[in-house]
Each structure stands twice: as structure tokens, then as C-alpha cells.
Copies of this chain bind each other. A is one copy, B any other.
Amino acid sequence: MLLLRRCLSLARFSPLNSQRHQVSPTVALCAVRLCSSSGGGGGGGEDQRSYQHTHRPRWRHALAGLLAGSGAVLAYGLHNHKAEQEDISVQNLKKRSGLPIYSQEEVTKHRSLENGVWVTYKGGVYDITEFVAMHPGGEKILLAAGGALEPFWALYAVHNQEHVLEILSEYKVGELSVEDQKKQQAIKSSDPYASDPERHPVLHVNSLKPFNAEPPPEILTDSYVTPSAFFFKRNHLPVPHVDPATYQLRVEGLPGGVLTLSLEDLKTRFPKHTITATLQCAGNRRSEMNKVKQVKGLNWGIAAISNATWSGARLRDVLLAAGYRPDVAQWAHHVQFEGLDKDVTGTTYGASIPINKAISEEGDVLLAYEMNGEDIPLDHGFPVRAVVPGVVGARNVKWLGKIVVSAEESSSHWQQNDYKGFSPGTDWDTVDFKSAPAIQELPIQSAITTPADGATIDRSVETVTVKGYAWSGGGREVVRVDVSLDGGKTWQVAQLRGSEEGQGPESSPPPGRAWAWKLWEITAPFPHEAEELEIVCKAVDSSYNAQPDTVSPIWNLRGVLSNAWHRVKVKVREDEREA
């Protein structure tokens, strides 16, 4: 919206403002075209086509997420945009013949705000200097300065959309010389996602490139420990393929100098520590915020959360081996993680956690090499990922390549300008990312997985069974889940379960170390007078924090931390067999 507003205000000074339109109904249409073409044209081949086939009925849902962008980097807030003409952008791109011809050499001179920022795309030359300040992904756009956009858009596939081309068209200043166009075509851009692993077809895909998907809610709570194939997947970049034989983890920033560890070192030099821990994406349940007012981010449902057992070396043990001593804490306040997943410029995914979490005996931070008793799957960080229990998924860095003990937080985009919470009154015009702390521990959360919203129930039934999950960050144990069948007027207490069904109840974890969720269930008498049930759940953790009642007051522009009471409506049907 900020973007749109700024573009509109700029447009007043542009000869092209008559070509701006508001899109919306056609968004799904053009995006389907996009995804089909990227599936067919990329390196996915048979596999990719089979995903499309499987997910066709879900496109409309998944596309909402894809279109909302994958992280602020990719977000263009296009839902308020309405196209009344098909292929308007292609017309625009071709319209301005008669513009000057530039060589690649000339284009390359424009790589800074001072000298102008030029890029090329499909033979056109664009001066995007004015757009840099408006780019939702920030100055990252400068990485493409002086060169071609194609390799970046192959990475951040969300750019491949009508309205993005439409915006681009306004900045056209010339044509690239025919010789240089031929040279560009010779360097065929490959699909960096071509070697992403196969995924289970049951997953609801929110974004294919990078891959982001969640299991269906009814499957999520079938098992206390989520099978890895169903565990939600949240990638920011293509999945890197790391050879375990040559893998090396660098530990930097400590007085002893750099420590380098092989996978074998991690497995043999340090005790193997196992925890069961729930990971949750900061954007879990974002779709409920989108219903209040459009936010930027993947349109997650209620299943961007899963629970697994993780085994590995304790970060604490590795830091001690690398030279950590108590006096280090006087200047070192953070432990930074760098992934091996990177974009075309070599920028890796990064995040950091407070050093007291990293070094505490009770923090249980792992450099995990096993998930659910097996090697960590490719999508979840093979061969080594950080598992920071009680902390938002984004800090549990996958494909871990480097650990840096530092006085500073990670400088990565995802630590500094993303994954932070703001007031509902803060918009993209007023937001100051420095004013909010990076999300670490997450607040109390719960959701209903059965019945589904919109399900029907026969009036003749005696009882209603409701199931779901509940979890809180910071190792705070879920101590109670309240369930209402009447929209929150009256409440009953659900049964909690902290282990696989059939197993005896686990003993309560030590205070502050309850890393895993509770599954819950309640079977309550069916209220026969009801025309419709509004089923609501809310959980309480060991610090007696409760979930807020409604979404609006916690709405925030990035759509994170969506933890209001979860509500599903169930219709009551007159039993046909009775009639």
C-alpha cells in the first residue's frame, strides 16, 4: 500500500499515470499463468508438473500467499491492485521504441544512487534510481544495479508478475544494443530452485520458490511428534546441497581464534543431546490478520508450526570448546548464525540469538544433525541446523555454515528489517524497524485443528470433540487450554497431552524448559439449542500469559505474532437420516 501510494504520488509527475490501474480479481488468473510457466520452463520437469496437478484446486489459496510475497523482500502489496487490461505490461515494454540504444558498458556505469541506478530486462534499459527508496526489499535492489534483472527474478520468483512489470515499464529509458542482448542470452539464467528436494504432495504450498508449505491442520495433530515430511517448511532461498564429507562449520569471534569442525567432529567430540522442541514461524496464522487488513508476507494458515525431536551437539559445548569464557559475556551479547543458503550475490541467510540463551545450560540450543532420529532432511537443514528451542523459527538457522560470537546482532535483513512486531497503528509510512526488538521468544499460542472451519455437524449427535495444539515460547509450559462452543461466553477446560498417544504422561519438564507443544482435546455435550457453533480456544502458559481475544488490536504490517483466540464456525445440520 505504501508502495502503491508512493507510486501514485510519483505518477502525478509522470506522463504515464493514465496507465495505472487497480487490480484484484485478475490477480489469481495472471499468477496461475506465471506458475504454470515457471513450472514448465524451469528445471522441475516431471516433479514440478505433478505438484501443480496435485495442488490445482488449492491454487487460489496458495496464490494469495505467493502474491503477498515471501518476506518483506518480495512483498509488493498487490492485492489492492486491479488490472483491467490483459498483458498491459508487455504492451508497455514494447511501446517506447524510438528510445536511445545503450551498450552494456554504458549501463554498467549506473550502479549507484549518485550515478543513477540502471538495470536491463529482456532487452530494455531502465533507470530505477527513483524506485530504490520504494523497493519493499530495501536496498537489496542495488545488487542488480548496472546489470540484468533476470538472475535475481529467477531467485525471487514473486517478481514475475504483471504489476511488477507494469511498475518497471515506467522507468524505461532505452534499449540494450543488439550485440549485448545476444551476449546476455548466451548466459542462460538457470533456475536456482531446480535442485530443491521432492516434497510430500499433501502439503499446502504457500510459495514454490523459495519453498514454503504447511501440512493440513487435520494431519498436524495426528501425532505428537510431527513426521519430517509433514513438518512445515519455511525456506528463504534455494536449498543448498552440502556434501557431509567436506562440510565444515566455522566458529568465530572467540579469544581462541577460529574453530573449524567437520560433521564427524560435531558427532564425536561433543555429547549427543536430544530434545523435543516445537518450531513455529513468526507468520503462523497470518491469514487471519489478512482478513482484518492486508499484510505483507506468506499467507500461512494455522499449521506453520510443528514438533520434532532433535539431536546434536549443544551450542554451549561447542562455544566452550572454541574458547568461550565467562569474561567473554562482558562484550559479547549475541551469537550470529549464517546459513549456507545464498542468493545470486552470495548473500547468505542469517540471524542471531542473545548470548545468554546460547551459553546457558538450560537454553538447550543445539547444533542438530538429526531430526526425528534420522539425518536432518534437505529441507530442514542437512547436514546441520541450529535448533533454538522456545525461539521463533527464523533464528533456527538451517544449513549452518558459520557461528560468530559478537557484540552485535546479525546484520542480516531478516534480523534487522523483518521478523519484528509493531503497533496496529504503525504503517509502512511510519514504521521504524530500529524501534522494535527482533522477535526471539514467541508468545502463547493455540489453535483448533478439528473440526475445520465451515464443517457441519448433525443435530442428533450427543457430543462434540474438539482438538488442537497449544505452545508457548521461552520454555514456558502450556498449563491450560480453555475451549468455548459459544463464541467465548462459557468455557470448559481441555485435556492436555505432552507425549504420543498411548504413552504414559511425561514428567513435567523443568521450569523454563518446556520446549514442546501440548496437544489437547475435549469432548463436550452438544448444545442442542445452537444453530451454529462458534468454537474458540485459548491457552495459558506457566507465566499465566493468555492469548488476546481478537486479531485487530494485534494486527501489524508484517502479519507476525498472530496469536489471538482461534475461532472456527461449525454449521448444525438437521440429521437427514432422522427426517
Contacts and interface: CB of A to CB of B under 8 A. Distances in A.
Give the interface SS of chain A, mostly helix, strand, loop or mixed: loop
B354 A511 contact: yes
Contact of A542 (B362, B437, B542, B554): B437
Nearest to A512: B356
Contact of A473 (B423, B490, B543, B549): B543
Nearest to A549: B549
Contact of A538 (B333, B426, B553): B553
A436 B479 contact: yes
Given A482-B423, A553-B491, A443 B356 contact: no
A441 B544 CA distance: 8
Nearest to A480: B423
Contacts of A295: none
A442 B546 contact: no
A148 B543 CA distance: 42
Nearest to A326: B361
A147 interface: no
A71 interface: no
A492 interface: yes
Interface residues of A, number: 47
A437 B490 contact: no
Interface in A537-573: 538, 540, 542-550, 553-554, 561, 563
A511 B356 contact: yes
Given A436-B480, A441-B542, A356 B490 contact: no
Contacts of A436: 479-480
Given A425-B490, A479-B437, A357 B548 contact: no
B543 A421 contact: no
Given A423-B480, A493-B425, A444 B549 contact: no
A421 B538 CA distance: 14
A424 interface: yes
A510 interface: yes
A545 B493 contact: no
Nearest to A492: B425
Contacts of A511: 354, 356-357, 440
Contacts of A357: 511
Contact of A549 (B333, B421, B439, B553): B553
Contacts of A174: none
Given A425-B490, A425-B491, 18 more contacts: A354-B511, A356-B510, A356-B512, A421-B480, A423-B482, A423-B491, A424-B490, A425-B482, A425-B493, A439-B544, A440-B511, A440-B543, A442-B544, A443-B544, A444-B545, A482-B553, A546-B553, A549-B550
25 contacts: A354-B510, A354-B511, A357-B511, A421-B540, A421-B544, A423-B492, A423-B493, A424-B490, A425-B482, A426-B493, A436-B480, A437-B479, A437-B542, A440-B542, A443-B543, A443-B545, A473-B543, A488-B553, A491-B553, A538-B553, A544-B561, A546-B554, A546-B563, A549-B549, A549-B550
Interface of A: 333, 354, 356-357, 362, 421, 423-426, 436-437, 439-444, 473-474, 476, 479-480, 482, 488, 490-493, 510-512, 538, 540, 542-550, 553-554, 561, 563
